[in-house]
Amino acid sequence: MPIEVDVAVLGGGPGGYTAAIRAAQAGRSVVIIEKDKLGGTCLHRGCIPSKALLRSAEVYATVKNASAYGVTVPSDGVSVEWDGVMKRKGAIVEQLHKGLQALMKQHRIEVVSGKGRIIGPSIFSPRSGAIAVELADGESETIVPRNVILATGSRPRKLADLPYDGVHVVTSDEALDWPTLPGSVLIVGGGVIGAEWASLLSDFGSKVVIVETADRIVPLEDKDISAELARSLKKRGVEIHTGAKLIGSSCKVEDGTVQAVIEKDGKEVPLSAERMLVSVGRQGNVENLGFENTDVKAENGYVKVNPLTLQTGEPHIYAIGDCIGGVQLAHAAMHEAAVAVDHLLGRAQATSRAADRDIPRCIYSRPEAAAIGWSEAEAAKQGFETKTAKIPLRILGKALVYGESEGFAKVVADKKTGDLLGVHLVGAHATDLIAEASLAKLLDAVPWEIAQTIHPHPTLSEALQEVMAALDGGASHG
Active site residues: 457
C-beta of residue 356 within 8 angstroms of C-beta of residue 324: no
Report how far residue 384's alpha carbon sits from residue 378's, in angstroms, rounded to the nearest whole number. Answer: 9
Contacts with 383 (C-beta within 8 Å, 6 or more apart), sequence order: none
In this structure, how many other beta carbons lie within 10 angstroms of the beta carbon of residue 215? 11
Q: Are strands 184-188 and 207-212 parallel, antiparallel or unpaired?
A: parallel
Helix (H) or strand (E) holding 110: strand 110-119
Q: What is the DSSP string of 27-65?
A: T--EEEEESS-TTHHHHHHSHHHHHHHHHHHHHHHHHHT
Contacts with 139 (C-beta within 8 Å, 6 or more apart), sequence order: none
Quote the radius of gyration of the chain (alpha carbons, Å): 24
User: What are the helix and strand counts (H, E) for the chain?
Assistant: 13, 24
C-beta of residue 214 within 8 angstroms of C-beta of residue 241: no
How far apart, in Å, are the Cα atoms of 277 and each of 58, 167, 235, 405?
A: 20, 9, 21, 30
Report how far residue 133's alpha carbon sits from residue 141's, in angstroms, rounded to the nearest whole number. Answer: 5
Cis amide leading into 121 (omega within 30): no
CA 397 to chain centre: 30
Q: Is 266 exposed, middle or buried (0-12, 13-18, 19+ CB in 10 A)?
A: exposed
